[in-house]
Amino acid sequence: MDAAALDYLAKWGHFLFGITWIGLLYYFNFVQTEYFKEADGDARVDAFSKLVPRALWWFRWGAMGTFLTGLIMLGIRGANSTADITVGAVLGTLMFLNVWLIIWPNQRIVIASNQAVAGGGEADPAAAGAAPKAALASRTNTLFSVPMLYFMGSSAHLPNGSIAGNSTAIIISLVLIGALELNAIFGKQGPMTTVRGVIVSGLVLTLVLWALLAFL
Protein backbone atom coordinates (compact mmCIF):
# COMPACT_ATOMS: atom_id res chain seq x y z
CA MET A 1 0.00 0.00 0.00
CA ASP A 2 1.46 3.37 -0.98
CA ALA A 3 1.63 6.37 1.35
CA ALA A 4 -1.28 8.20 -0.31
CA ALA A 5 -3.64 5.25 0.18
CA LEU A 6 -2.51 4.77 3.78
CA ASP A 7 -2.96 8.48 4.43
CA TYR A 8 -6.51 8.38 3.07
CA LEU A 9 -7.46 5.30 5.10
CA ALA A 10 -6.03 6.95 8.22
CA LYS A 11 -8.05 10.10 7.48
CA TRP A 12 -11.21 8.02 6.99
CA GLY A 13 -10.60 6.24 10.30
CA HIS A 14 -9.83 9.58 11.93
CA PHE A 15 -13.26 10.86 10.88
CA LEU A 16 -15.07 7.72 12.06
CA PHE A 17 -13.36 7.55 15.43
CA GLY A 18 -13.50 11.33 15.86
CA ILE A 19 -17.24 11.52 15.26
CA THR A 20 -17.76 8.79 17.85
CA TRP A 21 -15.50 10.47 20.40
CA ILE A 22 -16.59 14.08 20.03
CA GLY A 23 -20.24 13.14 19.60
CA LEU A 24 -20.19 11.37 22.96
CA LEU A 25 -18.22 14.24 24.50
CA TYR A 26 -21.03 16.62 23.54
CA TYR A 27 -23.64 14.13 24.73
CA PHE A 28 -21.99 13.93 28.14
CA ASN A 29 -21.63 17.70 28.50
CA PHE A 30 -24.77 19.02 26.83
CA VAL A 31 -27.29 16.25 27.61
CA GLN A 32 -26.26 13.81 30.33
CA THR A 33 -24.76 16.31 32.76
CA GLU A 34 -27.80 18.56 32.53
CA TYR A 35 -30.09 15.56 33.04
CA PHE A 36 -28.20 14.48 36.16
CA LYS A 37 -28.72 17.95 37.64
CA GLU A 38 -32.48 17.27 37.64
CA ALA A 39 -32.68 13.48 38.04
CA ASP A 40 -33.62 11.87 41.33
CA GLY A 41 -31.17 9.69 43.20
CA ASP A 42 -32.47 6.33 42.01
CA ALA A 43 -32.36 7.44 38.36
CA ARG A 44 -28.78 8.65 38.74
CA VAL A 45 -27.69 5.39 40.34
CA ASP A 46 -29.34 3.35 37.61
CA ALA A 47 -27.84 5.48 34.82
CA PHE A 48 -24.35 5.35 36.32
CA SER A 49 -24.66 1.61 36.79
CA LYS A 50 -25.93 0.69 33.32
CA LEU A 51 -25.84 3.58 30.82
CA VAL A 52 -22.66 5.48 31.62
CA PRO A 53 -20.28 2.47 31.47
CA ARG A 54 -21.51 1.63 27.96
CA ALA A 55 -21.18 5.22 26.76
CA LEU A 56 -17.71 5.57 28.29
CA TRP A 57 -16.50 2.42 26.52
CA TRP A 58 -17.26 3.92 23.11
CA PHE A 59 -16.00 7.31 24.33
CA ARG A 60 -12.56 6.25 25.44
CA TRP A 61 -11.90 3.85 22.56
CA GLY A 62 -13.16 6.45 20.11
CA ALA A 63 -10.53 8.76 21.61
CA MET A 64 -7.88 6.06 21.23
CA GLY A 65 -8.75 5.41 17.58
CA THR A 66 -8.78 9.14 16.80
CA PHE A 67 -5.38 9.61 18.41
CA LEU A 68 -3.74 6.64 16.69
CA THR A 69 -5.05 7.49 13.21
CA GLY A 70 -3.94 11.08 13.76
CA LEU A 71 -0.42 9.86 14.57
CA ILE A 72 -0.38 7.85 11.35
CA MET A 73 -1.33 10.92 9.30
CA LEU A 74 1.26 13.10 11.03
CA GLY A 75 3.89 10.43 10.46
CA ILE A 76 3.12 10.32 6.74
CA ARG A 77 2.94 14.09 6.25
CA GLY A 78 5.82 15.01 8.55
CA ALA A 79 7.47 18.24 7.45
CA ASN A 80 4.40 19.26 5.48
CA SER A 81 2.50 19.97 8.70
CA THR A 82 1.11 23.50 9.02
CA ALA A 83 0.96 25.79 12.02
CA ASP A 84 -2.78 25.07 12.21
CA ILE A 85 -2.41 21.30 12.39
CA THR A 86 0.32 21.70 15.01
CA VAL A 87 -1.99 23.60 17.35
CA GLY A 88 -4.91 21.33 16.51
CA ALA A 89 -2.86 18.20 17.14
CA VAL A 90 -1.66 19.49 20.51
CA LEU A 91 -5.26 20.22 21.53
CA GLY A 92 -6.35 16.77 20.38
CA THR A 93 -3.48 15.06 22.18
CA LEU A 94 -4.29 16.82 25.46
CA MET A 95 -7.93 15.85 25.03
CA PHE A 96 -6.89 12.22 24.51
CA LEU A 97 -4.71 12.29 27.63
CA ASN A 98 -7.51 13.88 29.64
CA VAL A 99 -9.81 11.01 28.65
CA TRP A 100 -7.46 8.24 29.65
CA LEU A 101 -5.62 9.82 32.59
CA ILE A 102 -8.33 11.91 34.26
CA ILE A 103 -11.87 11.31 33.02
CA TRP A 104 -11.87 7.52 32.78
CA PRO A 105 -9.98 6.75 36.05
CA ASN A 106 -12.25 9.07 38.03
CA GLN A 107 -15.42 7.90 36.31
CA ARG A 108 -14.50 4.31 37.16
CA ILE A 109 -14.63 5.28 40.82
CA VAL A 110 -18.01 6.95 40.39
CA ILE A 111 -19.42 4.02 38.41
CA ALA A 112 -18.20 1.45 40.94
CA SER A 113 -19.70 3.50 43.78
CA ASN A 114 -23.09 3.67 42.09
CA GLN A 115 -23.02 -0.02 41.22
CA ALA A 116 -22.31 -0.78 44.87
CA VAL A 117 -25.32 1.32 45.90
CA ALA A 118 -27.49 -0.37 43.26
CA GLY A 119 -26.48 -3.73 44.75
CA GLY A 120 -27.50 -2.67 48.24
CA GLY A 121 -24.05 -1.62 49.43
CA GLU A 122 -22.51 1.66 50.51
CA ALA A 123 -21.27 4.50 48.33
CA ASP A 124 -17.50 4.97 48.02
CA PRO A 125 -16.51 8.23 49.78
CA ALA A 126 -13.85 8.76 47.10
CA ALA A 127 -16.59 9.21 44.49
CA ALA A 128 -17.44 12.65 45.88
CA GLY A 129 -13.98 13.89 44.94
CA ALA A 130 -13.63 11.90 41.72
CA ALA A 131 -16.78 13.25 40.07
CA PRO A 132 -15.69 16.94 40.00
CA LYS A 133 -12.25 15.99 38.64
CA ALA A 134 -13.81 14.06 35.77
CA ALA A 135 -16.32 16.84 35.13
CA LEU A 136 -13.64 19.56 34.95
CA ALA A 137 -11.51 17.55 32.52
CA SER A 138 -14.61 16.82 30.41
CA ARG A 139 -15.56 20.51 30.32
CA THR A 140 -11.99 21.38 29.33
CA ASN A 141 -12.11 18.84 26.52
CA THR A 142 -15.33 20.46 25.31
CA LEU A 143 -13.56 23.84 25.44
CA PHE A 144 -10.58 22.47 23.49
CA SER A 145 -12.75 20.69 20.94
CA VAL A 146 -14.02 23.93 19.38
CA PRO A 147 -10.61 25.31 18.26
CA MET A 148 -9.31 21.79 17.65
CA LEU A 149 -12.02 21.12 15.07
CA TYR A 150 -11.49 24.56 13.52
CA PHE A 151 -7.75 24.06 13.07
CA MET A 152 -8.13 20.51 11.78
CA GLY A 153 -10.25 21.96 8.97
CA SER A 154 -8.30 25.17 8.41
CA SER A 155 -5.04 23.25 8.03
CA ALA A 156 -6.34 22.01 4.69
CA HIS A 157 -8.56 24.89 3.58
CA LEU A 158 -7.33 28.10 5.31
CA PRO A 159 -3.76 27.38 6.44
CA ASN A 160 -1.85 30.02 8.37
CA GLY A 161 1.55 28.96 7.05
CA SER A 162 4.39 26.71 8.10
CA ILE A 163 5.58 25.82 11.57
CA ALA A 164 8.86 27.70 11.07
CA GLY A 165 7.10 30.83 9.82
CA ASN A 166 4.74 30.96 12.80
CA SER A 167 7.03 29.76 15.59
CA THR A 168 6.36 32.73 17.90
CA ALA A 169 2.60 32.46 17.48
CA ILE A 170 2.74 28.70 18.06
CA ILE A 171 4.77 29.10 21.25
CA ILE A 172 2.35 31.69 22.66
CA SER A 173 -0.60 29.49 21.67
CA LEU A 174 0.93 26.47 23.39
CA VAL A 175 1.59 28.47 26.56
CA LEU A 176 -2.06 29.54 26.64
CA ILE A 177 -3.26 25.99 25.99
CA GLY A 178 -0.88 24.69 28.67
CA ALA A 179 -2.31 27.13 31.22
CA LEU A 180 -5.83 25.93 30.43
CA GLU A 181 -4.71 22.31 30.77
CA LEU A 182 -3.21 23.06 34.18
CA ASN A 183 -6.57 24.49 35.17
CA ALA A 184 -8.15 21.21 34.02
CA ILE A 185 -5.94 19.36 36.49
CA PHE A 186 -5.82 21.74 39.44
CA GLY A 187 -8.41 24.49 38.89
CA LYS A 188 -12.15 25.04 38.63
CA GLN A 189 -14.78 25.11 35.90
CA GLY A 190 -15.41 28.85 36.19
CA PRO A 191 -17.44 30.03 33.16
CA MET A 192 -17.51 26.46 31.84
CA THR A 193 -20.01 25.43 34.53
CA THR A 194 -22.93 26.00 32.15
CA VAL A 195 -23.47 24.68 28.64
CA ARG A 196 -23.66 28.21 27.27
CA GLY A 197 -20.51 29.17 29.16
CA VAL A 198 -18.39 26.35 27.77
CA ILE A 199 -19.62 26.94 24.21
CA VAL A 200 -18.90 30.68 24.39
CA SER A 201 -15.51 29.98 26.00
CA GLY A 202 -14.68 27.57 23.18
CA LEU A 203 -15.57 30.13 20.53
CA VAL A 204 -13.51 32.82 22.29
CA LEU A 205 -10.52 30.48 22.57
CA THR A 206 -10.83 29.68 18.87
CA LEU A 207 -10.83 33.38 17.99
CA VAL A 208 -7.81 34.09 20.20
CA LEU A 209 -5.76 31.21 18.81
CA TRP A 210 -6.73 32.08 15.24
CA ALA A 211 -5.70 35.70 15.78
CA LEU A 212 -2.35 34.62 17.18
CA LEU A 213 -1.57 32.44 14.15
CA ALA A 214 -2.98 34.94 11.65
CA PHE A 215 -1.34 38.14 12.85
CA LEU A 216 1.86 37.29 14.75
Q: 152-162 burial by CB neighbour count: b if 16+ within 10 A, else e?
A: bebbeeeebee
Write out pLDDT tens, residues 71-111.
Answer: 999 888 775 678 889 999 999 999 999 999 999 999 999 99
The pLDDT of residue 164 is 57
Contact yes or no for 212/86 (Cβ under 8 A): no
pLDDT tier, 22 (very low <50, low <70, confident <90, very high otherwise): very high
The pLDDT of residue 161 is 60
Instruction: Report domain extents, the chain.
Output: 3-215
Query: What's the mean pLDDT when you consider all of the chain?
Result: 93
> Average pLDDT of 159-186?
87
> Average pLDDT of 19-34?
97
Q: 7-19 burial by CB neighbour count: b if 16+ within 10 A, else e?
A: eeebbebbeebbe
The pLDDT of residue 155 is 77
DSSP states of 90-155 as a string? HHHHHHHHHIIIIIHHHHHHHHHHHHHHHTT-PPPTTHHHHHHHHHHHHHHHHHHHHHHHHHHHHH
The pLDDT of residue 80 is 65
Q: d(Cα 151, Cα 138) in Å, to the nearest integer? A: 20
The pLDDT of residue 167 is 87
The pLDDT of residue 165 is 67
Residues forming beta bridges with residue 82, ordered by sequence position: 162
Write out pLDDT tens, residues 28-52.
Answer: 999 999 999 999 989 999 999 999 9
Question: Tell me, what DSSP letter sits at residue 40?
Answer: -
Helix/strand/coil for 194: coil
Q: Which pTM does this prediction carry?
A: 0.94
Contact yes or no for 102/134 (Cβ under 8 A): yes
- pLDDT above 80: residue 213: yes
Write out pLDDT tens, residues 115-139.
Answer: 999 999 999 999 999 999 999 999 9
- pLDDT above 60: residue 174: yes
Backbone angles phi, psi at 39, to 5 degrees: -70, 150
Tell me the torsion sign for CA atoms 165, 166, 171, 172: positive
Residues forming beta bridges with residue 162, ordered by sequence position: 82
> Average pLDDT of 151-168?
76
DSSP 3-state helix, strand, coil percentages of the chain (rounded to 5)? 90, 0, 10
Task: Provide, rounded to the nearest whole percent, the portion of the chain with pLDDT above 90.
Answer: 82
